[in-house]
Amino acid sequence: MTPHDGRALLSTMLQGSTVDLFQTWGIAVAPAPPTRHDTEQIPPRALMAVIHYNAPAMQGALGLLVPKDVFELVKQDTSRPFAGLDWVQENANQLLGRLKSRLLSFQVALSMGLPQMLSEQALQTMVSKGLLGAYRFRTLRGEIGVTMSGRVDYARLEYRGVPPAVTEGDVIVF
């Protein structure tokens, strides 16, 4: 696999994972054309989280940026509403988990860290070190951002067609 094919593959997996994740919340999102990595475009009061990942073929961090107006679209139980920061951290975790499941067919088993709050300063640092990708997704109330930083050895992405042992929503009885 050439590096270009690997980049396109990873980009497609990440975009599909993001669309799937927000669909579970009843929020329609559509990938938007890529733009320059300008962190000045972050809306005020955006909810931001980052989660680190590691595998022999790749390591780095995934960031999720959700404007408050988009967060307000999330259907919630009024007796137990979500706190925005907790919600965005959990969804960064869910997004990386979905990507991890898709990468299993390519013999990449990611280890995931714990999601953390992403400050604007930390985001600026991620961008200054170089991004693997910055993705935008349109919604009715603004744009969601997903960033990936780190390194990927695209030559190690080898499709084997082995389905994941467990898919999201499966119940595992111990």
Q: Which domains does the chain have, with CATH numbers?
A: 3-156 (3.40.1550.10)
**Both structure tokens of 2:** 């050439």
CB 135 within 8 A of CB 36: no
pLDDT digits 0-9 by tens, 81-129 = 677 888 999 999 999 999 999 998 888 889 999 999 987 777 777 777 7
Q: Please count the residues of the chain.
A: 174
More confident residue, 4 or 21: 21
**Helical packing angle, 3-24 and 84-103, nearest 10°:** 130
pLDDT, greater one: 89 or 155: 89
pLDDT digits (tens, 9 = 90+) for 5-51: 888 899 999 999 999 999 999 999 999 986 655 444 555 568 899 99
Alpha carbon 68 to its chain's center: 17
| Distances in whole angstroms, Cα of residue 2 to Cα of each of 10, 14, 158 | 12, 18, 11
113 touches 52 (CB < 8 A): yes
Q: What is the DSSP secondary-structure string of 53-88?
A: EEETTEEEEEEEEE-HHHHTTS---TTSPPPHHHHH
pTM for this predicted structure: 0.84
